[in-house]
Amino acid sequence: MTEKVDIHNLGSVQKTLFLPLWGRAVESKKSKPMLVDETAVKIIEQVDFDFSPVAQNMDDLSQIAWIRRSMYCDRVVRKFLQKYPSGTIVNIGCGLDTTFERIDNGKLKWYDLDLPDVIELRCKFVKESERRKFIIASFMEEEWLEKIEVGEDVLFIAAGVFYYFQETDVKDFLIRLIDKFPGSEILFDVSSPIGVKIANQKVVESSGLGEESHLVWGLENKKKILAWDPRIRLMGTYYYFRTLRIGLRNILLGLLSDFLGIQYMLHLGLGS
């Protein structure tokens, strides 16, 4: 029997990366899944971690949001690669994200960026290759930007990352990307102040994680981001719950979430 991977030494914030991974694994085992992620299933089976509090306390909408976030990431990346088959993708705060395994076209250049303990853990399940490299850094550092090799164009993705930081950190980072990679794109998820409060109470705390894992930044209106710099342009807004058939109660709550902008994804163009 293969020895399970111990993850108890991870920091509280890093442990949250197992929540969406678990969600994708559970979804993949359904008879009619919205998303199939065999790599997520394999990783969940290999780690020494008690997911019973997550399974018992997680509400349907949170799990659906994780799946929809991954679906939109896949969709945006595939569309980007249709235009730039040899393009560069930078996965910020990659955690145990497995987008690469789902969308690799055999030509792209991929970078996974995260903190040392996460990259160390990631190496137990995913390996580097000629087209896939790991970078140990926080996205707020500047040195790692020099390591990015851009062929045709570059798309940055950040799923479940920015709302753990202050708004000024996110603003400074986006402007830094515009200056360094004009014409690039970025896809990331946001949550409203109400959404941050709900996530901290319903998702983080109910999963047995502490205050160190709490979300911080809540975006009141996406227009605020567009006002940060005239070079930022909106390419797409992706809401999680509309068009889904998930039961009357869930769809009503989901549509309310979409209407109030509690959680959704933004696709931005950075410069021209």
* Contacting residues for 222 by C-beta, under 8 A, at least 6 apart: 190, 234, 237, 261, 266
Residues 6-32 have pLDDT tens digits of: 777 766 666 777 888 899 999 999 998
Number of domains composing the chain: 1
Dist CA 182 CA 108 (whole Å): 19
Please report the pLDDT score of residue 244 as a whole number. Answer: 65
What is the domain extent for residue 223?
Answer: 5-270
Exposed/middle/buried for 180, CB within 10 Å: 0-12, 13-18, 19+? Answer: middle
Give the global pTM: 0.88
Output the CA angle 213-188-248, nearest 5 degrees. 80
Please report the pLDDT score of residue 261 as a whole number. Answer: 82
* Residue 262 near residue 195 (C-beta atoms within 8 A): yes
Please report the pLDDT score of residue 65 as a whole number. Answer: 86
Mean pLDDT in each 10-residue stretch from start to end of the chain (272 residues)? Answer: 70 73 92 92 87 72 86 97 97 94 96 92 91 97 96 93 94 97 97 84 54 78 96 95 65 77 93 85
Please report the pLDDT score of residue 230 as a whole number. Answer: 96
Dist CA 217 CA 231 (whole Å): 22
Residues 149-190 have pLDDT tens digits of: 998 899 999 998 999 899 999 999 999 999 999 999 999 999
Output the CA angle 23-70-147, nearest 5 degrees. 115
What's the DSSP call for residue 85? T
- We report the CATH number of the domain holding residue 227 as 3.40.50.150
Please report the pLDDT score of residue 117 as a whole number. Answer: 85
